[in-house]
Amino acid sequence: MKELENLYREIHPKVYAFFYAKTGSQSVAEDLTQDTFYEAMKSYHLFRKQASIKTWVFSIARHLLFKYYRSNKYKKHLEKRLVLQQDHPLLLEDAFLLKEESTTLLKCIESLGELRREIVTLRVFGELSFKEIGELVGKSENYARVHFHRAKLQLQKRMEEEDGKTMSDR
């Protein structure tokens, strides 16, 4: 149990960042992060140590995320966000530009294929090793490394294209 407590301190921010990147909501990310560690505590006795405990916790997180996506909460949350964004435009230009940049990055990540998107999210926001990512997605470490590299190149290209569009709009 002590191992889980230490792990909590170490990877809580990474699990939270993973959920935030996937949902775009601070409150949903907090709830899912809490649920992840609750499930880990509840089922710790079932942990077989075939993978690292960090990988095991992220597999719980992925499962909860898929469950969340299947629920009606996700649809209602998206509708609510769209309404709020239309009703409350940001007033500060700096805040707007920062939000626009992070939104563009998340949009570019979302445009990747499902597996590459998962690999990028686990690597960037979950800060998992390629070995751990490979275990989670059922592929080899090398597969995860190569597809992350290719996804990174795709993202760089798309971000440059988005910057070009933004510049031409001014």
pLDDT value of position 90: 46
Residue with tokens 């795709």: 154
d(CA 16, CA 14): 5
DSSP readout, 35-92? Answer: HHHHHHHHTGGG---SS-HHHHHHHHHHHHHHHHHHSHHHHHHHHHHHHHHHHS----
Contact 18, 127 (CB under 8 A): no
In one letter, which amino acid is 161? Answer: E
Instruction: Please give the average per-residue pLDDT across 84-93, as a whole number.
Output: 48
Residue 131 and residue 98 in one domain: yes
Instruction: Please give the average per-residue pLDDT across 107-134, as a whole number.
Output: 88
Residue 96 and residue 82 in one domain: no
Residue 15 and residue 28 in one domain: yes
> Which CATH number covers residue 32?
1.10.1740.10
Instruction: Please give the average per-residue pLDDT across 145-165, as a whole number.
Output: 84
Residue 84 and residue 104 in one domain: no
Question: Which run of H or E residues covers position 42?
Answer: helix 26-42
Question: Residue 77: which pLDDT band, with cuts at 50, 70 and 90?
Answer: low
Residue 154 and residue 117 in one domain: yes
Residue 11 and residue 84 in one domain: yes
- pTM for the model stands at 0.59
Residue 96 and residue 158 in one domain: yes
Contact 40, 56 (CB under 8 A): yes
Among 89, 116, 135, the domain boundary falls at: 89
For 71, which DSSP code?
A: S
Instruction: Please give the average per-residue pLDDT across 7-20, as a whole number.
Output: 89
Instruction: Please give the average per-residue pLDDT across 125-141, as a whole number.
Output: 90
Range ranked top by mean pLDDT from 49-53, 57-61, 93-97: 57-61
d(CA 55, CA 81): 31
Instruction: Please give the average per-residue pLDDT across 74-103, as a whole number.
Output: 53
Among 34, 55, 89, the domain boundary falls at: 89
Residue 96 and residue 18 in one domain: no
- Structural domain span for residue 117: 92-170
Q: Is the pLDDT of residue 123 over 60?
A: yes
pLDDT value of position 51: 79
Contacts of 132 (CB under 8 A, 6+ apart): 51, 52, 54, 55, 58, 122
> Which CATH number covers residue 122?
1.10.10.10
Among 40, 73, 89, the domain boundary falls at: 89
Residue 56 and residue 122 in one domain: no
